[in-house]
Amino acid sequence: MHRTTWVEFNRCALRHNAKTVRRLAPNAAILAMVKANGYGHGADWVAEHLNDIVDGFAVARLNEAMLLRKQLSDKRIVLLGTEHDAISLNECALHQLDVVIHDLQTATLLASIKLPQAITVWLKLNTGMNRLGMSEPEFIDAHQLLKQSPNVATLHHMSHFSDAETTDKTRSIEQYQCLHTLSHSLGETPISMANSAAIISFPQSHLNWVRPGIMLYGDDPTNTLNEGDLQAAMTFKAKVLAVRDLAAGDGVGYNRRWQSASTSRIATVAAGYADGYPRQAPDGTPVLINGKRAALAGRVSMDLLTVDVTGLEINAGDTATLWGDNLSAAEVAQHCGTISYELFTRITQRVERVY
Ligand SMILES: Cc1ncc(COP(=O)(O)O)c(C=O)c1O
């Protein structure tokens, strides 16, 4: 099959990364984050290949959860913090979806209706992220209210770290203690807090359920794991369409942002911002061509980007790697002022997926 712009997904890497989670958190159950279409990897593909390793999957929208339920008839699926009314709670019960409840209003609503069957509820405490989650008094009220409710099969307690990837653990320890102490004061309830960074760098926070996202896809947000502990599950590739020699002073691309200081050679690659390559990528952002490192030169356009390949043996028809194997998405993201999460979830529809 002829391809110009495609993304390759590596099942072995995905499974290897999940086993790394298992090794780092041997006593915790694993709730794999597959929101945003499995961080851009295909939630169905991730679910298929991790089903035998992990204990459940989590998504952020009801439609994502329903799709996943069609694929996995009896796996735990958790719907993260979202808006609920009586109809959506009813849908969750009908499809056996666990719900995260992050405000007292929704807890009160859940206690006041009659669901067709009881559901598992994850009560979310705000421990300093100040995004979603209840204050301590609200959390206690919600716990007392739902502990009694026939709509609730099991209660879980959870919170989310705001700074887990930083080396200074002061904030994370405070957040952990806040959830841990409050949860224990309310009795024996399964607790969940750790995202990837905490799984890697804060073992005490693993508790009953860990919630890995980005590390399943190969990125270490703490930059502390050994090489090989995580492997890229996604590699974004494109063909070189043209190679040309430039004289000193020639410019490249829109507004000729990059200018040749001396004679140079430019490769034009079949990937642009309409494929999900970030338009804000500056000159110097690394690109691999035929496995050799080269640097972006000139503004990224809709369908194309240009790379300074001076001194390299590169021809039209060669393959460029934009991120993935041997070039981490985190490194590319850092050049672009973003994070690998955004790169992964922004690959667009027209890019061919190769599984
Ligand atoms: C509630 C919650 N838990 C866990 C995660 C996983 O985080 P990470 O991808 O950093 O592991 C996320 C992702 O944003 C999240 O929103």
Task: Check whether residue 311 and residue 180 sit in a common domain.
Answer: no
Q: Which of the two residues, 207 and 148, has the higher pLDDT score?
A: 207
pLDDT at 236 over 90: yes
Query: Which ligand 1 atom minimizes the distance to the CA of 211?
Result: 4
Q: 35 catalytic, yes or no?
A: yes
Report which protein residue has its CA nearest ligand 1's atom 1.
Answer: 160
* Tens digit of each residue's pLDDT (9 = 90 or more) over 208-224: 999 999 999 999 999 99
Pure H helices in the chain = 11-24, 35-39, 43-50, 62-71, 86-94, 104-112, 136-147, 170-185, 196-201, 329-335, 340-345
Q: How many CB atoms lie within 10 A of CB 69?
A: 18
What is the percent of the chain where pLDDT is above 70? 100
Residue 259, domain CATH: 2.40.37.10
Rounded mean pLDDT, 182-190? 96
Q: pLDDT value at position 81? A: 83
Do the Cβ atoms of 36 and 339 come closer than 8 Å?
A: no
Amino acid in position 200: I
Report the separation in Å between the CA atom of 196 and the middle of ligand 1, taken as the mean of its atom positions. Answer: 7
Token output for 324: 């993935």
Report the separation in Å between the CA atom of 346 and the middle of ligand 1, taken as the mean of its atom positions. Answer: 17
Query: Which ligand 1 atom minimizes the distance to the CA of 39?
Result: 9
Contacts of 151 (CB under 8 A, 6+ apart): 89, 93, 110, 111, 113, 114, 115, 118, 119
Cβ-in-10-Å burial (0-12, 13-18, 19+) of 255 comes to: exposed
DSSP string, 92-133: HHHTT-EEEE-SHHHHHHHHHS--SS-EEEEEEB-SS--SS-
Report the separation in Å between the CA atom of 162 and the middle of ligand 1, taken as the mean of its atom positions. Answer: 10
Task: Check whether residue 55 and residue 87 sit in a common domain.
Answer: yes
Q: Mutate which of 122, 132, 195 to test ligand 1's pocket (most atoms within 8 Å of Cβ)? A: 195
What is the percent of the chain where pLDDT is above 90? 99
Do the Cβ atoms of 99 and 122 come closer than 8 Å?
A: yes
Task: Check whether residue 172 and residue 254 sit in a common domain.
Answer: no
Report the separation in Å between the CA atom of 212 and the middle of ligand 1, taken as the mean of its atom positions. Answer: 7
pLDDT at 169 over 80: yes
- Residue 1 in any domain: the answer is no
pLDDT at 255 over 80: yes
Report the separation in Å between the CA atom of 14 and the middle of ligand 1, taken as the mean of its atom positions. Answer: 17
Query: Which ligand 1 atom minimizes the distance to the CA of 196?
Result: 11
- Residue 154 in any domain: the answer is yes
Q: Mutate which of 24, 31, 33 to test ligand 1's pocket (most atoms within 8 Å of Cβ)? A: 33
Task: Check whether residue 28 and residue 162 sit in a common domain.
Answer: yes
Do the Cβ atoms of 136 and 125 come closer than 8 Å?
A: yes
Q: pLDDT value at position 64? A: 97
Do the Cβ atoms of 306 and 244 come closer than 8 Å?
A: no
Residue 15, domain CATH: 3.20.20.10
Q: pLDDT value at position 216? A: 98
Mean pLDDT, the chain, as a whole number?
97
Bridge-based pairing of strands 152-158 and 119-124 is parallel
Enter the DSSP assignment of 233.
Answer: S
pLDDT at 184 over 90: yes
pLDDT at 1 over 80: no
Q: pLDDT value at position 262? A: 95
Task: Check whether residue 194 and residue 276 sit in a common domain.
Answer: no
pLDDT at 86 over 80: yes
Cα 166 to Cα 161, 209, 259, distances in angstroms: 11, 21, 38
Task: Check whether residue 333 and residue 254 sit in a common domain.
Answer: yes
Task: Check whether residue 241 and residue 97 sit in a common domain.
Answer: no
Confidence of residue 204 (pLDDT cuts 50, 70, 90): very high
Amino acid in position 269: V
For 253, what's the count of Cα atoms within 13 Å in the CB-facing half-sphere? Answer: 25
Q: pLDDT value at position 286? A: 98
**How many structural domains comprise the chain?**
2
Task: Check whether residue 283 and residue 198 sit in a common domain.
Answer: no
Task: Check whether residue 122 and residue 257 sit in a common domain.
Answer: no
Residue ranges of the annotated binding site for substrate are 131, 302
Task: Check whether residue 333 and residue 206 sit in a common domain.
Answer: no
- Residue 6 in any domain: the answer is no
Q: pLDDT value at position 319? A: 98
Enter the DSSP assignment of 229.
Answer: S
Query: Which ligand 1 atom minimizes the distance to the CA of 100?
Result: 1
Q: pLDDT value at position 2? A: 85
Task: Check whether residue 41 and residue 114 sit in a common domain.
Answer: yes
Closest CA to 207 of 195, 215, 216: 195
* Tens digit of each residue's pLDDT (9 = 90 or more) over 303-342: 999 999 999 999 999 999 999 999 999 999 999 999 999 9
Do the Cβ atoms of 122 and 192 come closer than 8 Å?
A: yes
Q: 176 catalytic, yes or no?
A: no
Q: Which domain holds residue 297?
A: 234-354
Report which protein residue has its CA nearest ligand 1's atom 2.
Answer: 160
Separation CA 235–CA 11 (nearest Å): 12
Rounded mean pLDDT, 57-83? 96
In b/e form, how buried is each residue of 93-109, taking b as 16+ CB within 10 angstroms? bebbbbbbbbbbebbee
| Residues flanking ligand 1, CB < 6 Å | 33, 80, 160, 195-197, 211-215, 221
